[in-house]
Structure 1
Amino acid sequence: MTTASRKLGEFIYNTNYENLPKAVVDEAKLRIADVIGIGLSGSQTEVSKIEKFSLAKGGEGKATIWGTGNKTSPAYASLANGTMTFHLELDDVHRTSHTHPGVSAIPTAIALCEEYGLSGKELITAVVLGYDASIRVGMAVSPSIYVDRTFLAPGTLSVFGAAASASKLLKLDVKGISNAIGGGSYFGPTACYESFKLGAGIKDMIMGWGNYCGIYAAELAAMGFGAPDTAIEGDFGFCKTTSAKFDIQRLYNDMGSVYEIMNTGVKPYACCRQHHAAIDCMLELRNKYNFKLEDVSHVRVRTFVVSSRGNKKKPASVQEAKYSIPYIMAVALELGGAWRDQFTDELINDTRLLEFASKVDVEPDYELDKLYDEKWPSIVEIKLNDGKVLSARHDLPKGEPEFPCSPQELKDKFMSLATDAVSNEVAETIWNTIQNLENLDDVTKLTELLTSKIE
Structure 2
Amino acid sequence: PTATCGAFGAAAAAARVFGLDAESVAGAMGTVLSQCAGSLQFLANGAWTKRFQVGWAAMNGLAAATLVREGFKGAAQALEGRHGFMRAYAPDPTPERALLHLGREFELMATAVKPYPSCRYGHAGIDASLGLRAEHGLHAGEIESVTLGLPKSGMLLIGEPAEKKADPRNVVDGQFSGPFVIACALAKGHMGWDSYALLDDPDIRALLPKVRCELDPEIEAEFPANMSGKVTVRARGQTFTKAVTVPKGEPANFLTEAELRGKFAGLADAVLGAERAARLADAVLAIDRAQDVSSLMRLAAPTIATRLAGE
The normalised TM-score by structure 2 is 0.87
Distance across 2 between alignment mates of 1:198 and 1:257: 42
Judged with a 3 Å threshold, the aligned counterparts in structure 2 of structure 1 residues 182 and 326 are, in CA distance, closer, same or farther, namely: same
Cross-structure match for 1:381: 232
Task: Tell me if 1:420 matches 2:270.
Answer: yes
Task: Tell me if 1:340 matches 2:193.
Answer: yes
- Deviations 1:295-350 (CA, angstroms, capped at 9, x unpaired): 12111112111211313101011221111111111110011121112111xx2112
Judged with a 3 Å threshold, the aligned counterparts in structure 2 of structure 1 residues 210 and 436 are, in CA distance, closer, same or farther, namely: same
Gaps of 5+ in 2: 160-164, 306-311
Cross-structure match for 1:403: 253
How far has the Cα of 1:420 moved from its partner? Answer: 2.6
Cross-structure match for 2:51: 204
After superposition, the CA RMSD in angstroms is: 2.4
Judged with a 3 Å threshold, the aligned counterparts in structure 2 of structure 1 residues 245 and 379 are, in CA distance, closer, same or farther, namely: farther
AA aligned opposite 2:205 = L
Alpha-carbon contact 2:128-2:244 (below 8 Å) kept? yes
How far has the Cα of 1:154 moved from its partner? Answer: 1.6
User: What's the % identity of the aligned pairs?
Assistant: 28
Judged with a 3 Å threshold, the aligned counterparts in structure 2 of structure 1 residues 438 and 303 are, in CA distance, closer, same or farther, namely: closer
Cross-structure match for 2:309: none
Cross-structure match for 2:280: 430
Task: Tell me if 1:186 matches 2:39.
Answer: no
Distance across 2 between alignment mates of 1:197 and 1:402: 34
Alpha-carbon contact 1:423-1:453 (below 8 Å) kept? no
Alpha-carbon contact 1:277-1:376 (below 8 Å) kept? yes
Task: Tell me if 1:273 matches 2:120.
Answer: yes
Cross-structure match for 2:206: 355
AA aligned opposite 2:279 = T
- Deviations 1:93-125 (CA, angstroms, capped at 9, x unpaired): xxxxxxxxxxxxxxxxxxxxxxxxxxxxxxxxx
Instruction: Pick 1 or 2: higher relative contact order, CA cutoff 8 A, min separation 6.
Output: 1
How far has the Cα of 1:197 moved from its partner? Answer: 5.5
- Deviations 1:393-446 (CA, angstroms, capped at 9, x unpaired): 112210001111122322333344433344554344333333443554453323
- Deviations 1:44-81 (CA, angstroms, capped at 9, x unpaired): xxxxxxxxxxxxxxxxxxxxxxxxxxxxxxxxxxxxxx
How far has the Cα of 1:203 moved from its partner? Answer: 1.8
Distance across 2 between alignment mates of 1:215 and 1:156: 14
Alpha-carbon contact 1:302-1:380 (below 8 Å) kept? yes
SS of the residue corresponding to residue 382 of structure 1 reads strand
AA aligned opposite 2:28 = A
Residue from 165, 168, 174 that aligns with 2:22? 174
Cross-structure match for 1:315: 168
Gaps of 5+ in 1: 1-152
SS of the residue corresponding to residue 383 of structure 1 reads strand
- Deviations 1:334-369 (CA, angstroms, capped at 9, x unpaired): 11121112111xx21123312211011111234532
Task: Tell me if 1:156 matches 2:4.
Answer: yes
